[in-house]
Amino acid sequence: MKPFERRKNLLNELYVNNIVHVSNLAEEFKVSEETIRRDLEKLEKEGIVERNYGGAKLLKSEELPYSVRDTRNKESKINIAKKINQFIKHDTSIFADSSSTVIETLKRFAISDKKVHIITNAVNALYELNQSSLEINSTGGKLLKYSSALVGPQTIESINKFNPDYAIISCKALNKDGNITDSNEYEAHIKELMINRADKVILALDSSKFDKTGLITFGELSNIDYIVTDQEFDEEWQSILEKHSITILQ
């Protein structure tokens, strides 16, 4: 097994179990325990795991760098991105937050022939889309390194100048009380501003984020016009969304 394949499988083990043990991994990957320890040491330096005696544990999702969050639930994010791409029409302006789900959506726009004007605080979006035909405005601002998001007064001032057709945002959690929440107050405030300035709002999130609550509330379901996820909604959720007159993007 090549090192990059071992890393991928090691990360998968962490995502599934949250905790891994050196001896088990060495046996599974057919390498020495010292090799596994070096792998875990590298992941610790990248801010992905915290090592302990005999193994390591995965850090909480809000503590993970963007490069790692981007790999989680990848197929779900691609599925969501395809649905939004089908919905968005030619010649549309959009606020896009810094979440990995939304950036996946922007990448889908980039391979289409639609004219889309993007205003974003996502540094990774600028990198991913710099060779595309999309029209892109960066908000500027102070860089949050772990999330590759721009925040602060400059970001706020920039957002308040725009009135786009849509805001496409994600979140850390959504509960049945209608609270849309995140883990970082600075990013949450930017998402709230995007919601307030856009004509319509699309909430994009995979099913792992339902029925949970994050630290900061930045919106309510009453603020949302469309919602898109990777699985069908059960009857209870359909009733909640219908109550708020939210359209489900299929």
Q: Are residues 10 and 129 in the same domain?
A: no
Q: How does pLDDT run across 147-201, given as a tens digit for each residue? A: 889 999 999 999 999 999 999 999 989 999 999 999 888 999 999 999 999 999 9
Looking at per-residue confidence, does 52 or 226 come out higher? 226
Looking at per-residue confidence, does 17 or 129 come out higher? 129
Q: Are residues 136 and 214 in the same domain?
A: yes
Predicted pLDDT of residue 147: 80
d(CA 149, CA 141) in angstroms, rounded, equals 9
Q: Name the residue range of residue 43's domain.
A: 3-59
Residue 48 lies in a domain: yes
18 sits in the region (left: phi over 0; alpha: psi -120 to 50; else beta) called left
169 sits in the region (left: phi over 0; alpha: psi -120 to 50; else beta) called beta
- pLDDT category at 249 given cuts 50, 70, 90 is very high
95 forms beta bridges with 119, 167
Looking at per-residue confidence, does 13 or 85 come out higher? 85
Q: Are residues 48 and 170 in the same domain?
A: no
What pTM, to 2 d.p., does this model score?
A: 0.75
Predicted pLDDT of residue 200: 98
Q: Are residues 29 and 131 in the same domain?
A: no
Predicted pLDDT of residue 61: 53
Taking the CA atoms of 17, 19, 21 and 26 in sequence, report the sign of the dihedral they define. positive
Predicted pLDDT of residue 12: 75
Q: Are residues 113 and 159 in the same domain?
A: yes
Predicted pLDDT of residue 176: 95
d(CA 24, CA 76) in angstroms, rounded, equals 29
Predicted pLDDT of residue 65: 54
Question: DSSP of 18-55, one letter per residue?
Answer: SEEEHHHHHHHHTS-HHHHHHHHHHHHHTTSEEEETTE
Predicted pLDDT of residue 242: 96
- CATH number of the domain bearing residue 140: 3.40.50.1360
Residue 180 lies in a domain: yes
Q: Is the pLDDT of residue 225 over 90?
A: yes
Predicted pLDDT of residue 69: 56
36 and 44 Cβ atoms separated by less than 8 Å? no
Residue 120 lies in a domain: yes
Q: Are residues 73 and 190 in the same domain?
A: yes
Predicted pLDDT of residue 71: 54
- CATH number of the domain bearing residue 46: 1.10.10.10
Residue 212 lies in a domain: yes
Say which DSSP state 245 is in.
Answer: T
Residue 87 lies in a domain: yes
Q: Are residues 34 and 74 in the same domain?
A: no
Q: How does pLDDT run across 197-224, given as a tens digit for each residue? A: 999 999 999 988 899 888 889 999 999 9
Q: Are residues 48 and 143 in the same domain?
A: no
Residue 64 lies in a domain: no
Structural domain count, the chain = 2
Q: Are residues 117 and 240 in the same domain?
A: yes
The answer for residues whose C-beta is within 8 angstroms of residue 28's C-beta and 6 or more apart is: none
Predicted pLDDT of residue 164: 98
Count CA within 13 A, CB hemisphere, residue 58: 19
Q: How does pLDDT run across 20-54, given as a tens digit for each residue? A: 999 999 999 999 999 999 999 988 876 678 898 89
249 and 84 Cβ atoms separated by less than 8 Å? yes
Q: Are residues 112 and 47 in the same domain?
A: no
Q: How does pLDDT run across 51-86, given as a tens digit for each residue? A: 988 999 887 554 455 555 555 667 889 999 999 999
Q: Are residues 119 and 217 in the same domain?
A: yes
Q: Are residues 154 and 187 in the same domain?
A: yes
